[in-house]
Structure 1
Amino acid sequence: MTAQFRNILLISAASVALVSACGRDEESSAVNTSSTATQEANSEQAKPDAGQTAKINQWFEAQFEADVARSPMTQTFLGRKTNYDKWDNVTEEFEQESFELQMAALKEMRETFSLESLDPSAQLSYRLFEYEAEQEQRNQPFDDHWYVFSNFRGPHSSAPAFLINQHRVDDVEEAEAYIARLEGMKEYLAQNQKNAEAQFERGIYPPKWAYAKMIETSRNIISGAPYDDSEKPSTLFADFNKKIDGLDIEDEQKQALKSRAEQAMINSVKPAYEALIDMFQTQAAQVNNDDGAWKLPDGEAYYANRLEVMTTTNMTAKEVHDLGLSEIDRIHGEMNEIKEQVGFDGTLQEFFVYMREDPDGKFTYPNTEQGRADYLAKATEIIDVMRGRLDELFYTKPKADLVVKKVEPFREKSAGKAFYQRPAPDGSRPGIYYANLYNTANMPIYQMEALAYHEGIPGHHMQLAIMQELENVPSFRRFGGFTAYTEGWGLYSEYIPKEMGFYDDPYSDFGRLAMELWRAARLVVDTGIHDKKWTREEAINYLMENTPNPEGDVVMAIERYIAMPGQATAYKIGMNKILELRRRAEAALGDDFDVRAFHDVVLKDGALPLAILEEQVDAWIAASTAN
Structure 2
Amino acid sequence: MRPFAMLLAATLLATPAFCQTAAPAASPEDARLLKLFHDSDEALLKRQPIQALVRGDLRYADRLGDFFSDAAQAANKAADQSDLKALATIDRAKLTPTDQIAYDVFKWQTDLDLRSYAPELLKETIERPIDHFNGIHIFYPDIASGQGAAPFNTVADYENNLKRHQDFIRNLDEAIVRFRQGMKDGIVQPKLVVNNVIDQLNQQIDAGVEGSPYYGPVKKFPTGISAADQARLIKEYTDTIRTGIIPAETRLRDFLKTEYLPDARDSVGLSQMPGGAKLYAYLIESNTTLPLTADYVHKLGLSEVARDLKAMEAQKEKVGFKGTLPQFFDFLRTDPRFQPKSKEELRTEYLAIRDIVMKHVPAQFSLVPKTPLEIRATPDYREKTSAGGDYMQGTPDGSRPGTFNYNTYDLPSRYNWETNSLFLHEAIPGHHFQISIAQENTSLPAFMRFGGNTAYVEGWALYAETLWGPMGLETDPYQRMGGLSDDMLRAMRLVVDTGIHAMGWTRDQSITYMLANSPMSRTDATAEVERYIAMPGQALAYKIGQLTILKEKAKAQAALGDRFDPRAFHAQVLDTGALPMGVLEKKIDTWIEAQKGK
- Please show how residues 176-187 of structure 1 align to structure 2 within 5 Å: 176-187=159-170
Relative to structure 1, the CA distance from residue 604 to residue 224 in structure 2 (aligned partners, 3 Å threshold; closer, same or farther) is: closer
Of 116, 140, 143, the match for 2:122: 143
- Does residue 365 in structure 1 map to residue 340 in structure 2? yes
Contact 2:73–2:117 (CA under 8 A) maintained in structure 1: no
Aligned to 2:97: 120
Asked if structure 2 preserves the Cα contact closer than 8 Å seen for 1:482 and 1:607, the reply is yes
Question: Which position in structure 1 is the counterpart of 2:273?
Answer: 296
8 Å CA contact 1:151, 1:214 repeated in 2: yes
* Further displaced range: 407-416 or 267-276: 407-416
Aligned counterpart, 1:95 = 73
The residue matched to 1:404 in structure 2 has which SS? Answer: strand
1:377 to partner: Cα distance: 2.2
Instruction: Work out which of the residue numbers 463, 473, 487 in structure 1 matches 2:434.
Output: 463
Q: 1:592-611 to 2 correspondence within 5 Å?
A: 592-611=563-582
1:161 is the counterpart of 2:142 = yes
The answer to whether the 8 Å contact 2:183/2:263 transfers is no
Which residue pairs with 1:83 in the alignment? 60
Are 1:264 and 2:240 counterparts? Answer: yes
Task: Render the CA deviation track for 1:233-291: whole Å, top value 9, x for unaligned.
Answer: 32322x12234x33433334312210111111122101211110122111112223200
Distance 1:441 1:95 in 2: 44
Equivalent residue letter for 1:108: A
Residue deviations 1:495-520, cap 9 Å, x none?
Answer: 11224542110000000000000100
Give, in whole Å, the separation in 1 of the partners of 2:362 and 2:141. Answer: 39
1:375-402 deviation line (CA, Å, top 9, x unaligned)? 1221122123212221110111111001
Which secondary structure does the structure 2 equivalent of 1:345 belong to? coil
2-structure distance, mates of 1:49, 1:77 = 31
Q: Secondary structure at the match of 1:145?
A: helix
* 1:29 alignment partner in structure 2: none
- Alpha-carbon distance in 1 for matches of 2:471, 2:226: 54
**Structure 1, residues 600-625: CA drift from partner, whole Å, max 9, x if none?**
11111111111111111111111111
SS at match of 2:505: coil
TM-score, structure 1 normalization: 0.88
- 1:387-466 matches, within 5 Å, as 387-466=358-437
Is contact 1:383–1:453 with CA below 8 Å preserved after alignment? no
**1:569 maps to 2:547:** no
Q: Which stretch of structure 1 is more off in the superposition, 510-519 or 139-148?
A: 139-148
Distance 2:71 2:186 in 1: 20
- Consecutive unaligned residues of structure 2, counting only runs of 5 or more, are 3-23
With over 3 angstroms needed to count, the CA separation of the structure-2 counterparts of 1:490 and 1:428, relative to structure 1, is same
Q: Is the 8 A contact 1:406 1:434 kept in 2?
A: yes
Rounded Cα–Cα distance in structure 2 between residues aligned with 1:578 and 1:49: 30
SS at match of 2:467: helix
Q: Deviation digits for residues 452-503 of structure 1, max 9, x if unmatched?
A: 0100001011111001112322111111111111111101101112245421
Residue 19 of structure 2 corresponds to none
Higher mean C-alpha displacement, 566-575 vs 117-126: 117-126
Count of residue pairs the alignment pairs up = 569
Q: What amino acid is the match of 1:519?
A: R
Q: Which residue of 2 aligns with 1:310?
A: 287
Secondary structure of the residue that 1:388 maps to in structure 2?
helix
**CA apart distance, 1:48:** 7.6
Q: How far off its partner does 1:152 sit?
A: 2.5
Q: Deviations over 1:198-220 (max 9, x none)?
A: 23332222211222221121122
Report the TM-score when normalising by structure 2: 0.92
Which deviates the most, 408-417 or 595-604? 408-417
Equivalent residues in 2 for 1:59-74, closer than 5 Å: 59-74=36-51
Give the RMSD, CA atoms, in angstroms.
1.7
Q: Describe the superposition over 1:117-159 as per-residue Cα deviations: whole angstroms up to 9, x where unpaired.
A: 1111111111111111211233223123333111323111112
CA distance in 2, matches of 1:114, 1:330: 46
Gaps of 5+ in 1: 1-11, 14-46, 227-231
1:301 Cα offset (Å): 1.6
Shift of 1:297: 2.2
Contact 1:87–1:188 under 8 Å retained in 2: no
Q: Secondary structure at the match of 1:570?
A: helix
Closer, same or farther in 2 for the Cα pair 1:285/1:234, shift >3 Å? Answer: same
Map 1:521-540 to 2 at 5 A: 521-540=492-511
How many Å separate the matches in 2 of 1:608 and 1:184?
33
Residues 155, 192 of structure 1: 8 Å contact kept: no
Taking the aligned partners of 2:292 and 2:74, their CA distance within structure 1 comes to 29
Measure, in 1, the Cα distance between the counterparts of 2:308 and 2:275. Answer: 35
Task: Please name the residue that 1:385 is paired with.
Answer: 356
CA distance in 2, matches of 1:422, 1:428: 11
Aligned mates of 2:467, 2:492 — CA distance in 1? 21
SS of equivalent to 1:297: coil
How many Å separate the matches in 1 of 2:361 and 2:505?
43
The farther-off stretch of 459-468 and 298-307 is 298-307
CA distance in 1, matches of 2:574, 2:270: 34
Cα distance in 1 for partners of 2:154, 2:472 equals 48
User: Partners in 2 of 1:298 and 1:182 — Cα distance?
Assistant: 35
Query: Is the contact made by 2:144 and 2:213 (CA closer than 8 Å) also made in structure 1?
Result: no
Q: Deviations over 1:44-89 (max 9, x none)?
A: xxx9862221232122112111211222211211102222222211
Task: Give 2:578's aligned amino acid.
Answer: A
Is the contact between residue 433 and residue 455 of structure 1 (CA under 8 Å) also seen in structure 2? Answer: yes
Q: Is the 8 A contact 2:333 2:413 kept in 1?
A: no
Return closer, same or farther for 1:135/1:449 CA change in 2, 3 Å cut-off.
Answer: same
1:491 is aligned with what amino acid?
L
Closer/same/farther in 2, CA of residues 354 and 519 from structure 1, 3 Å limit: same
Amino acid of the structure 2 residue aligned with 1:151? H
Measured in 2, the distance between the counterparts of 1:184 and 1:67 equals 18
Amino acid at match of 1:267: T
Q: Is the 8 A contact 2:48 2:65 kept in 1?
A: yes
TM-superposed deviation, 1:551: 0.3
Separation in 1, partners of 2:113, 2:552: 28
Aligned-partner residue type, residue 180 of structure 1: K
Letter in 2 for 1:109: L
Partners of 2:454 and 2:541 within 8 A in 1: yes
- CA contact under 8 A between 2:158 and 2:233: conserved in structure 1? yes
Q: Contact 1:376/1:405 (CA < 8 Å) preserved in 2? A: yes
Letter in 1 for 2:235: S
1:402-453 CA-partner distances (Å, limit 9, x unpaired): 1111111111112222111111123221111111211223321000000001
Which residue pairs with 1:24 in the alignment? none
Is the aligned partner of 1:152 residue 2:133?
Answer: yes
Alignment check: 8 A CA contact 1:48 1:117 kept: no
What SS does structure 2 have at the residue aligned with 1:262?
A: helix
Structure 1 segments (4+ residues) deviating >4 Å: none
Please tell me the residue identity of whatever aligns with 1:480: G
| Structure-2 residue corresponding to 1:557 | 528
Contact 2:36 2:86 (C-alpha < 8 Å) held by counterparts? no
